[in-house]
Structure 1
């Protein structure tokens, strides 16, 4: 479709107003002010506002924030609930649990000095700091296409508005804009739509271990004062997940009589009958969790994929005209179950690399390979290096023995054992045929602690313009019914946390694959877990998706 587009020029365009993108924007402007140099920096964000698509646990380590904005407390950063106590449980069954003593827990799981936060609100605050420094932030503008000319990334194109379901232009059609830059930082988060294209275009993940993923669920509950202990952090391993499924649960006592509860499930699970959403509903019924939630009211729900491959899976982060930052690259430290401080540091390093290049007279478009050295000289690299074996150990040895290995490596050897474990498997290729796996009979929701998908999606405030092209693209529309249904009982019906995918009976009695794109909460799980790699998530029109108030 040949469309006339308006074009705007910047020094740096940043895709994504999450912790990585906003930290990069702030660091760029700080350096420009110190050098008394004018710099034009723009951040585009697909959410309707900054924070609308941010979902994180979150226990926040303030190390990178302290470096970026040392006066964050006086500036009013929403870090209001310091962690006062850690409880870690091994859930042995639906009713039994064992609290682990401190010596049996990896040091990376201790949270003294950290804060329980809403990362959505932290990002809103970071956006205010960025705008005060002169950064232009455009929420509601998804970056839908790359501008690549002569093998160089020159910027991005925002999404067209007003397209009908067949891709034709409606009367309300408005073409997206070209946002051109000397350098573009991609900080879209886990499994970014454009980042995925960049990995392929520039072979950035060549000779790296495959990225590994999990799906993380989160709910916010209002609870009675008697059950609320501000600053209490609870983590768990074991039930409801079986020995072949790794992951763990969390429950954080935040401010305002609210509890944040969730479950993280690695997406390398093998049983296609498994439903991550239903596992999360079961998790809340365990007495350890139920004691805090019972009598409370669920007020928010969401889910998001997590990149957890760590150091071994990091791609080359530079390419002609830009850099990858944060969870776009996979900088999360899964040994800590934390990626916000690492994302911020990654964004800051990207900003420093680009500003140094521009200061040297660089006119843009270079492959800033010096960024790798800057990264390797930072505490971010050191932290990820020390945790490099955590995920592979859990995958190779299971939750119990993998946990024991990690406790010894972290507590006795500070992550510096002279070998590196690797996991070269592909998450989407781990499903076994449905006929070879046990069925899982999940209980019906009680609407007290457990709920169905649609009532959950309602709490995420998800909305999309209905008459637009479907943003969940099937490379081959026949595969769900011809291949995935007979072999894997079409697992998209279960791994999607929002009821987007259904197999329904057509008028002639045959099965038909239905996509309810309106429900999509942008978690990206389908893009990751589909065994045929047939589903591609692309940006929908405008500010579609969830509107998380304080996730």
Structure 2
């Protein structure tokens, strides 16, 4: 049985197949083309395909996308809907009160509702056309360091063909050592490799503490005569019930094409009540008379949960060089 780790070398390695890393890889290839440089770029993604670990339903401000891909609409940008109007509500246990003004950061009119999964696949197609080597199904398991123990020189992917007890089976394949001059980590919230780097290289020192929320999201198939058919507003955000005012979080409902809606409820992980159940809070939100009316007659077709980093700019770790 072969247990040797095959080595592949690249100039730049992106770990994680989310929109940030895909956009970074595209921009890198654009700059290389402008400078007439030939570079080898790789991107690994733990999911079976790009987008398989992304939860559908999000609002995208296209300002950065226009800079990255000016003709994004002509290239088949997979928009679900364009925001016509947005509304902001405070929920009590039985009622909903529309806030007379929407906070500036919640102004989404003209932005796009997207499926993050489809958006990732679209970016991956563009990246591959530009020469990025994308490897789905390869999870980064270990950061590789140089002789000094501090310089990151690549990532080792996970072994395949292991039994439930971790022992090699007949179809065992050792992970690959993907070496690179520069490695970019875009694992998402609580990424295992970045946690390892944080302990070894102290990249979080002097930064504000990390802040997280957990979001539970569903895609609902609505009937033909659904709320959004006769409503100017197709982007709704809420706060208040069921969390109250002491726990960060809130809900949203976005219209998607083909009579679908994205529904999510976020709960800040700073809550003190040990009996609080995040999924129960999501169900309470969906059963609130306001949300229930919007989703009346709907059927769940997708569901998932995800931890979200919400700490902002001052929690971003230092660059490790």
Q: Name the TM-score, length of structure 1 as normaliser.
A: 0.56
State the alpha-carbon separation in 1 of the partners of residues 274 and 3 from structure 2.
43
2:270 alignment counterpart: 268
How far apart, in 1, do the equivalents of 2:265 and 2:234 lie?
17
Contact 2:57 2:219 in 1 (8 A): no
1:530 is matched with which residue?
Answer: none
Partner of 2:234: 232
Tell me how far 1:80 sits from its aligned partner. 4.3
C-alpha distance in 2, partners of 1:153/1:20?
20
State whether residues 211 and 307 of structure 1, in contact with CA within 8 Å, keep that contact through their aligned partners in structure 2: yes
Judging by fraction of residues, say which structure has more strand.
Answer: 2
Residue 109 of structure 2: aligned partner: 112
1:33 maps to 33
The residue that corresponds to 2:129 in the other structure is: 132
Distance 1:114 1:314 in 2: 26
Q: How many pairs align?
A: 315
User: How many Å separate the matches in 2 of 1:99 and 1:135?
Assistant: 47
275, 286, 289: which one pairs with 1:287? 289
1:315 matched residue in structure 2: 317
Determine which structure has the larger helix proportion and give its number: 1
SS in 1 for 2:225: helix
Larger relative contact order, structure 1 or 2 (CA cutoff 8 Å, min sep 6):
2
1:534 is aligned to none
Q: Which residues of 2 match residues 226-375 of structure 1 at below 5 A?
A: 226-229=225-228, 232-316=234-318, 318-319=319-320, 367=321
> Residue 162 in 1 paired to residue 158 in 2?
no
Please state if 1:70 is matched with 2:67: no
Matched residue of 1:210: which SS? coil
Output the CA distance in 2 between the equivalents of 1:3 and 1:174.
Answer: 7
Q: Tell me the secondary structure at the aligned position of residue 284 of structure 1.
A: helix
| Distance in 2, Cα, partners of 1:10 & 1:309 | 32
2:170 maps to 1:171: yes
Q: RMSD between aligned alpha carbons?
A: 1.4
CA distance in 2, matches of 1:170, 1:82: 50
- The alpha-carbon deviation at position 57 of structure 1 amounts to 3.9
In the alignment, structure 1 segments of 5+ residues that lack a partner are 320-366, 368-551
Question: Conserved in 2, the CA contact under 8 Å of 1:250 and 1:263?
Answer: yes
Contact 1:228–1:257 (8 Å) recurs in 2: no
Residue 121 (1) aligns with residue 118 (2): yes
Superposition deviation, residue 296 in structure 1: 1.2
Q: Distance in 2 between matches of 1:164 and 1:44?
A: 23
Deviations 1:246-265 (A, max 9, x none): 21000001111001111000
The residue correspondences of 1:213-228 to structure 2 (distance < 5 A) are 213-228=212-227
Structure 2 counterpart of 1:362: none
Deviation of residue 225 (structure 1)? Answer: 2.2
2:125, 2:106 → 1: CA distance?
31
The answer to whether the Cα contact below 8 Å between 1:223 and 1:296 also exists between their aligned partners in 2 is yes
Q: Deviations over 1:75-117 (max 9, x none)?
A: 1111241100111110011x11111112xx3211111221111
Conserved? CA contact 1:82–1:114, under 8 Å: yes
